[in-house]
Amino acid sequence: MAFGQPKIEYKSNADILRMRKAGLVLAEALDETVAAAAVGVTTKELDNVFAGVLARHDAKSNFLGYFDFPATICASVNEEVVHGIPGSRVLKDGDVLKIDGGAIVEGWHADSARTVIVGENVDPADQRLSDITEEAMWAGIAALAKARYVGEIGEAIDDYVSAAEGAPLGILEDYVGHGIGSAMHQAPDVLNYRSGHRGPRVKPGLCLAIEPMLVRGSIETTVLADEWTVVTNDKSRASQWEHTVAVHMSGIWVLTAHDGGAERLAKYGVTPTPLS
């Protein structure tokens, strides 16, 4: 602890390899849950799909029981931005669904989220929202590969979103990315916007969950009576994308992407480096 700031946990290569195991289980769980997201399916049924994959791999959920959270995923629909509790809600054609989940393998954590637009009645504005959020995440990950300070991630995300053609989108400021490792939420915070603060220095062993959340309207939000679900005050729709990324001596590695991030980072001139 220095100057009142939480201490950052830097991981060894062996720790990162364990996190990669968790990341691959999580990627598979999200693949199957996304595939099951269809008109007429309840968010609780999606939670069951995700939990089934974790059980198949003898992995644990880092969401279930976290401050008494009652499920293995957060399932947030439309104006629900994040932390939605799965239940009896039936998905409808055109719903914008955010699936956020995590996994623990051998005591090490991974965290990842995806946006899915359900059915065939896709509003182009919703698709644009999801696409820009996803690409902003990759812009932030690419920035990490060359960054000296964590704050450069938020600058890259903000720059990408601000430069997007069309109607402006809002970047949530109250909910940000985070460090991850032997616990799901660790120092440092990873902002998704320009703040004027450079943040801690990027060093080998730093592992981060990078997760921009964008909205089509105002960034003002409220937490519902369930004390979890975050909704936009103006009912505008929201998107969330997230990956867990490791920094090591030879580069970066996207631990929750099957290919380590190779395909999506290529356009930025970044080649992820797996550990063996």
Record: fold of 13-268:
Creatine Amidinohydrolase (3.90.230)
Query: Residues at the annotated binding site?
Result: 83, 100, 111, 178, 185, 211, 242
Measured CA distances, 124 to 115, 154, 171, 242 (Å):
14, 26, 19, 22
Residues in the chain with pLDDT values less than 50:
1-3
Measure the CA–CA gap between 139 and 143, rounded to whole angstroms.
6
Query: Residues at the annotated binding site for substrate?
Result: 83, 185
Measure the CA–CA gap between 163 and 156, rounded to whole angstroms.
11
Would you state the pLDDT for residue 6? 82
Cis ω for the linkage preceding 274 (within 30 of 0) = no
Determine contact, residues 16/246, Cβ cutoff 8 Å: yes
Would you state the pLDDT for residue 1? 32
pTM: 0.97
Residue 106 in 3-state DSSP? coil
Query: Residues at the annotated binding site for a divalent metal cation?
Result: 100, 111, 178, 211, 242
- 48 contacts: CB under 8 Å, gap ≥ 6: none
Q: Which two tokens stand for residue 146?
A: 């060359």
Would you state the pLDDT for residue 5? 65
Would you state the pLDDT for residue 4? 54
Sign of the Cα pseudo-torsion (163, 169, 172, 176, in order) = negative
